[in-house]
Each structure stands twice: as C-alpha cells, then as structure tokens.
Amino acid sequence: MKLSALQQSYLNRRSNSFRGSLPLDSSAACCIVSVVIGFRFSRLVFLFLFSAASLGGEISALLVVHSALATASPIAKSVSAACPPANRTAAGSRVVVGRHGIRVRPWPHPNPEEVMRAHRIIERIQREQRMLFGVKKPKMVIAVTPTQVRTFQKLHLSSVMHSLMLVPYDVVWIVVEAGRVTNETASIIAKSGLRTIHVGFNHRMTISWSDRHKLEAMMRLHALRIVRKERLDGIVIFADDSNMHRCSFCWNSCSFRKLEWAGFVLNSKLLWKDLDDKPEWIKDLEVFDGVDDIESPLYLLGDTSVVEPLGSCGRQVLLWWLRVEARTDSKFPAQ
C-alpha cells in the first residue's frame, strides 16, 4: 500500500520551500497570501502578517502555515470573499488561473475490461519488440518432461506447464510417463493448450533416488527417439517437472561444469537418422539401445569440445531444481 500523497510530499524536499520572501504590499496582501498559502485564514493570521516584516521570509511563512492549520473562523469567509475572482490568462483563453477543484470520479476503481485492453496493448508492444530486437526466426521449442503419478506430481507438472505456456514461441511438449499413460497425467497437461505428445514408458518408477535418475535418463532418451521418428524441427530442452524456469531460459542456455539434463540444449536435427551433413561428434541414438547407465547428456556426444555456453553465461540464474517430494506412501488430499 502506498503512503498518502501528503506524507510522501513531506518526505520529498525538492519543492517544499518558498522561493524567498514575498513583498507584503498592503493593498494586495490578502490576495497574495491566499495565493501562496491557499487557506482561508483567521484573525490570528493577520497578527503574523503584519509582524512578518521583522522576521525572515521562510520563518514567517512557516508560522503562518501552522497557525492557519490550527484555527479557522467565520471571519475567514468574509476575508476571502474580498479577494477578486480567479483571473484568466488572457482574453479568449479557456485556461483559468488560481485555485481549481481536484476532480475525483465517484467510482475510481479500474474497469476490468479496460485493464484487459491495457494488457493486450502491452502484449502487442512486446510482440513488436521481439520482432524488432529479438530472434528473427525463432525455432520451435521441444520440451521433454519425464514424469510419473505421485503425490506432488500436479504441483510440479503444473509449474513447468505454466512456464511453457508463457514461452512466446511454438512449443511441443513431450511428456514421458513412467509405467503407462494415465488419466491423471493427461488431465493435467490437457489444460496447457500446447501441442503435446504424451507417451508411456514401460518401466515403473522405482523408489531409490539413484535408480530414479537412471530411469529418467532412459525416459529422456525415449523422448529423443520420438523427436527423431517424428522429425521434429526445433531446439530440445529438458524441462524436468521439478525445475523452475525463467522465461528467458528459452533464449539463453548455459552449460554447467557438471551438466544436468535440464541445462542442456541441442538442435533436434542432430537426432535425425538420415541427416545429410550430420556431424561426426554426435552419436547415433541406436548406440544406446539396451544401455541403462547414462549419467549425463554428454554421453550423446563423441566430442564434448563442441559444447559451448549461450547468452551471458553465469550472470543470471535461469533454472532452479526444486526436488521436493512426499513420502511414497502418502496421498494428496482428494479434490
């Protein structure tokens, strides 16, 4: 909640001062003072006015302000009435000099329709900014997410889903489910509105952490085989359902010293079988058939020197790991 404007004005010292003493011309004293102070004032103020000549300008001004705050009497009305009406700046001008009412509309709350129009304007402006200054021909984002039904699945999967929904590029979401395709998982990802490929992986999720890591790696490889089979053209990212992503992750990707799958990005064409100019440093996926011990995405490469950081590597945190899980025998409350 913001401070009131008056409180903030007192804190702000830029303009809270007179610009020096004003000449106290007796014939125009009431107009001058009413202009400066803007108060209807009482008999007491007159005493300060006539003694102001012996005091410094700012001191007398402060005295006047305080006394005016303290007292107000019916005499003030007749005194202020004696001042001439507000002046116009010139003949024919519509602008009036002097005091104006502060216009406040009866119901100041924002109109929801106007708020939505404002957000559409902002979205349109940002689209123009991306067109002008962003990536000229953005590639499709191919997001790979291994998952399984569990107490906290909805929490994590919804989080990564919302991140993907905010990506302003085409997104294909490959969801690989341990065991088999379930209605629980399908009902979550159906709300994304994204193009999804939801497949099962015929191994049930295990309990031990190290076995889980191995199984997840195999599930990711399974997704890569789908990329190859469907000849999807884009940038592959591994969006684990327990990761938190900044939107800019899809623009920038850094390599880490110990490379987690989620920090690794590659062009999907490297996975295609019959690519003409396929580089030699990428291994064919068939090499991994039957292998169950892939610890890192670097295993995909025959030569790790081709890995390079993207963007301003190390300056921004683009991704967090939020590996929070419930006990295996727990259940999420019924909805």
Partner 1 sequence: MDFWKVGLLSLLCAASAFAIGAVELGRHQPTERISGSAGDVLEDDPVGRLKVFVYELPSKYNKKILQKDPRCLNHMFAAEIFMHRFLLSSPVRTLNPEEADWFYTPVYTTCDLTPNGLPLPFKSPRMMRSAIQLISSNWPYWNRTEGADHFFVTPHDFGACFHYQEEKAIERGILPLLQRATLVQTFGQRNHVCLKEGSITIPPYAPPQKMHTHLIPEKTPRSIFVYFRGLFYDVGNDPEGGYYARGARAAVWENFKDNPLFDISTEHPTTYYEDMQRAVFCLCPLGWAPWSPRLVEAVVFGCIPVIIADDIVLPFADAIPWEEIGVFVDEKDVPQLDTILTSIPPEVILRKQRLLANPSMKQAMLFPQPAQPGDAFHQVLNGLARKLPHDRSVFLKPGEKALNWTAGPVGDLKPW
Note the residues at the interface with partner 1 (CB under 8 A). Answer: 2, 5-6, 8-20, 23, 35-39, 65, 68-69, 87, 89-105, 108-111, 114-115, 117-118, 120-122, 124-126, 128-130, 132-134
CB 245 to partner 1: min, Å: 17
- Closer CB to partner 1, 121 or 287, in the complex: 121
- Closer CB to partner 1, 315 or 331, in the complex: 315
- Closer CB to partner 1, 15 or 183, in the complex: 15
- Closer CB to partner 1, 17 or 183, in the complex: 17
Q: Which residues contact 250 (CB under 8 A, 6 or more apart)?
A: 141, 167, 169, 235, 237
CB 301 to partner 1: min, Å: 31
C-alpha dihedral, 41 to 42 to 44 to 45, nearest 10°: 20
CB 68 to partner 1: min, Å: 8
CB 264 to partner 1: min, Å: 25
CB 30 to partner 1: min, Å: 13
- Is the Cα dihedral 186, 189, 191, 195 positive or negative? negative
Find where tokens 């209605």 sit: 183
CB 232 to partner 1: min, Å: 27
Q: Which residues contact 242 (CB under 8 A, 6 or more apart)?
A: 156, 321, 322, 323, 324, 325
CB 88 to partner 1: min, Å: 9
d(C-alpha 38, C-alpha 80), whole Å: 10
Which of these, 265, 270, 238, lies nearest to 252 by C-alpha position? 265
- Closer CB to partner 1, 117 or 273, in the complex: 117
CB 51 to partner 1: min, Å: 21
Query: What does each C-alpha distance from 280 to 52, 224, 304 come to in angstroms?
Result: 92, 18, 12
- Closer CB to partner 1, 120 or 229, in the complex: 120
d(C-alpha 221, C-alpha 300), whole Å: 10
Answer whether 242's CB lies under 8 Å from 322's CB. Answer: yes
The number of angstroms, rounded, from the C-alpha of 220 to the middle of its chain's C-alpha atoms is: 30
The total of other beta-carbon atoms located within 10 Å of residue 261's CB is 20
Would you report the helix, strand and coil content of the chain in percent, each value rounded to 5? 40, 10, 45
- Closer CB to partner 1, 78 or 111, in the complex: 111
- Closer CB to partner 1, 6 or 324, in the complex: 6
